[in-house]
Amino acid sequence: MNKMKYDKARKQLLEKKIELEKRISKIHNHARNPLNADSAEQAAELGNVEVVAALEMEAIEELAEIKAALHRLDDGSYGICISCGEEIGTKRMAVRPESHECVDCANLPPI
């Protein structure tokens, strides 16, 4: 395969990976903050903790996708749909470089 073709994608993925890792550690530290003793504030904090946990989950899932995409770049399967084996297409890869399925398989409207 043409390695140069995905140089930009690799760079984007690595940048996203660093950004997500920073975001996750920030969220994580925030979530570990001790709760305020005041009960009203505690309730508000608890609600916040749930939101924060959801955000952390989302970031962790995205990071996993990016790591998997970087792995596919290394083993040469990057840009190939894992479901049908067709090329995902450069347009979709440019919009979402961590894609592992083509638009058809991911059930998305065409870009």
Q: Which CB, 14 or 95, lies closer to Zn ion?
A: 95
Burial 63-82 (b: 16+ CB within 10 A, else e): bebbeebbebbeeeebbbbe
Query: Residue 100 Cβ, how far from Zn ion at the closest point, in Å?
Result: 9
Query: Residue 86 Cβ, how far from Zn ion at the closest point, in Å?
Result: 5
Q: Which CB, 51 or 108, lies closer to Zn ion?
A: 108
Query: Residue 15 Cβ, how far from Zn ion at the closest point, in Å?
Result: 26
Chain centroid to Cα 81, Å, comes to: 17
Q: How far is CA 49 from CA 24, 34, 41, 42, 77, in A?
A: 14, 11, 12, 10, 38
Do 17 and 98 meet the contact criterion of CB atoms below 8 Å apart? no
Query: Residue 7 Cβ, how far from Zn ion at the closest point, in Å?
Result: 24
Query: What residue ranges bind Zn ion (CB under 5 A)?
Result: 81, 83-84, 102, 105
Q: Which CB, 53 or 94, lies closer to Zn ion?
A: 94
Q: Which CB, 81 or 93, lies closer to Zn ion?
A: 81
